[in-house]
Chain A
Amino acid sequence: MGFLTLQSLSKVFGDFTAVRDVDLSVAQGEFVSLLGPSGCGKTTTLQMIAGLVEPTKGTITLDGRDITREKPSRRGLGIVFQSYALFPHMTVAENVAFGLEMRKVARPERDRRVSEMLGLVHLASFAERYPRQLSGGQRQRVAIARALVIQPPVLLLDEPLSNLDAKLREEMQFELRRIQRSVGTTTIMVTHDQAEALSISDRVVVMEQGRMTQIDAPYRLYERPATAFISSFVGKMNRIEAVWRGGRAEAAGLGLPSEAASLPDGASIGVAVRPEKILLGAAGQGLFDGTVTSRFFLGSYWLFNVETPVGNVVVSLPNQGAEPVAEGALVSLGWPPESASIVAAAAGAAA
């Protein structure tokens, strides 16, 4: 039994099922991300945990206590809203102190905890400012401080980084993880950004159309996506439509190395290979040859589109300094069997 558990939790709005039979168990101190495209039910799930949306069915327990019908004000969870929802008419210090004030914490104790928390989020010198005088990243940290100062058993983050620009977002990811580590609060974060979810979570929960389809550690999610949707949503993925014949995958008459599988002969399948797992070589040296049709420089790596007999294949290559093969060049492609997984054929691909 986890610290926070959701059991067959569902939410129906009219004739739309936003969340369907969600089961999740979160251990104390864990950082779990709910990842999915917009409208997948991840925010609704978070709001049900927070108590802002009442579940249609199912139970939520916190530390063994059933909190399914408890008022949000009594759950005592820390929540960081997407818009931050800071109180615009209060200073940073007053914002952070609000939760303590509601808990009737005495003045000296309150001041001490507020300044301690502002120190943790590096905003000690901004205590007397108003939210509108702060930058996006600073507001974000006020929101985190305000949620954490009440020492909540669980911290809920609703798309906390989506309103920040790219550079700041990356910085805040690590900042968020640092703060979470130093206070050790169990954290659940909702995000649609796979890079964000993979980089800072202990476990990632992928949600699709109101269901949780995979719950795994970030690297396992990336290496072993459970569904075709996850493989395309998390990172880039090549899918080669193939047929299973004689114990191996075949496409365009070529045998493709892949992990072992026991499938009937003639079954339509897909072979999934990550772009960075494909080895580029001189023509004639790999599994098959292809022509580089376009090339993109992305700073730390190069991305190639290679036209091959099995279709267009995306290959990425780390930037080693020297300029790699040019557009129009003939190259060979190859990969070790363990880098390719067998997935179900795309719907309609067999026809």
Chain B
Amino acid sequence: MKSRALTPWLLVSPATLLFLGLVILPLILTVILSFHVYDHTTGIQDSFTVEHYVRVVTDDYYLAIFWRTLRLAFLTTLICAVIGAPEAYVLSRMGDPWRSIFLLVIIGPLLVSVVVRAFGWSMLLGSTGLVNQSLRALGFDSVRLLYTETAIVIALVHVMLPFMVIPVWTALQKLDPAVEAAALTLGASRFTALRRIVLPQVSLGMLSGSLIVFGLSASAFAIPGLLGGRRLKMAATVVYDEYMSELNWPLGAAIAIIVLVANLAIMLGYNRLVETRARRALG
């Protein structure tokens, strides 16, 4: 009797220990670190302060970085949804050999390191890259793309797209094709059938896709680091700078905690808003 009551705890213990050791413990240490006093000459002190937090939320430099992070993550999510949802729909309508091939094409980039892909984009978007060469060949002025927000968003969309396509595609798989046919026979145009019948039913897939894309974009490091250059910073790159160049670990920790809390608040709020609405109708 007693051993039976223990079984569930034993079964979850490896995952729990892993979670505690690798997520919760470092997180607690980071929180503690963020309250330590830092001195440029003597380093981290044993006394505590909220100075770092106050500095981050009052300094325009950091606020601009936070604002940019949110803006670019939101933009990436939006573009991924606009491109990814139709892409998933087309994919779900494909015949058998093509569907497998294109699914591989979509997932394929995940097999290549983000760093490699970021360098690939910097070669394409650079001042002598393929894009600018083509523009010049067509008689246009060359444009500055590399080290701009545009470059970051382009590369982020490229990296994040599979995370939007796959959940939407999964949701579409569950859809009875006769439901769309029913809408057509009731007098709906193809577009109306998509908007009124298909879209609401894949909204949960788009929701989970958006959450993954937003979360990963807001904490992206390699892409903004390599395509944003030294001046155009996002949250993750500024944390890196505080730790590695400024050596101000407490400040870096404070920024990291703020990013985490903000990300969590936005994602939970969004999840709640959309999910309660979708759940009510879809069950």
Contact = CB atoms under 8 A, between A and B. Distances in A.
Nearest to B283: A132
A85 B176 contact: yes
A150 B281 contact: no
A73 B197 CA distance: 15
Contacts of B187: 73-74, 76, 99, 102-103, 150
B88 to A, nearest CB: 18
Interface string A62-100: 000000000111111111011101111110000000110
Contact of A73 (B184, B201, B281, B282): B184
A81 B182 contact: yes
Contacts of B13: none
A202 B181 CA distance: 28
Interface string B129-149: 000000000000000000000
A51 interface: yes
B185 interface: yes
A305 B183 CA distance: 51
Nearest to A131: B283
Given A130-B283, A132-B283, A85 B178 contact: yes
Contacts of B283: 88, 130, 132
B185 A89 contact: no
B186 A150 contact: yes
B176 A83 contact: yes
Contacts of A82: 178
B192 interface: yes
Interface size class of A (residues with CB under 8 A): 20 to 34
B181 A73 contact: no
Contacts of B189: 73
Given A83-B176, A102-B188, A72 B281 contact: no
Interface in B167-187: 176, 178-179, 181-187
A73 B188 contact: yes
B161 to A, nearest CB: 26
Pick from A74, A98, A130 the residue with the most CB of B within 10 Å: A98
A86 B175 CA distance: 11
Contact of A89 (B183, B184, B188, B281): B281
Contacts of A87: 179, 182-183, 197
A52 interface: yes
The secondary structure that dominates the A interface is loop
A90 B200 CA distance: 10
A89 B176 CA distance: 13
A72 B196 CA distance: 17
A85 B281 CA distance: 16
Contacts of B188: 73, 98, 102
A50 interface: yes
Contact of A85 (B181, B192, B200): B181
A146 interface: yes
Contacts of B192: 102
Given A89-B282, A130-B281, A83 B183 contact: no
B179 to A, nearest CB: 5
Contacts of A90: 281
Contacts of B200: 89
B205 to A, nearest CB: 13
A88 B181 contact: no
Interface string A39-53: 000000000001110
A85 B179 contact: yes
Nearest to B177: A85
B186 A102 contact: yes
Nearest to A78: B185
Nearest to B174: A88
A77 B176 contact: no
A74 B179 CA distance: 17
Contacts of B184: 52, 71-73
Interface string A284-299: 0000000000000000
Nearest to B201: A89
A17 B181 CA distance: 23
A50 B186 contact: no
B185 A52 contact: yes
A241 B233 CA distance: 91
B178 A83 contact: yes
A38 B230 CA distance: 68
Given A73-B187, A77-B185, A88 B282 contact: yes
B200 to A, nearest CB: 5
Interface of B: 176, 178-179, 181-189, 192, 196-197, 200-201, 281-283
Interface of A: 50-52, 71-79, 81-83, 85-90, 98-99, 102-103, 130, 132, 146, 150
22 contacts: A50-B185, A51-B185, A52-B185, A73-B185, A73-B189, A74-B187, A77-B185, A83-B176, A85-B178, A85-B181, A85-B182, A87-B183, A88-B283, A89-B200, A90-B281, A99-B186, A102-B187, A102-B192, A130-B281, A132-B283, A146-B182, A150-B186
The 7 closest A-B pairs by CB, nearest first: A102-B187, A99-B186, A85-B178, A85-B182, A89-B281, A81-B178, A85-B179
Given A85-B176, A99-B187, A146-B186, 14 more contacts: A52-B184, A73-B184, A75-B185, A76-B187, A81-B178, A86-B179, A87-B179, A87-B182, A88-B179, A88-B201, A88-B281, A98-B188, A102-B192, A130-B281
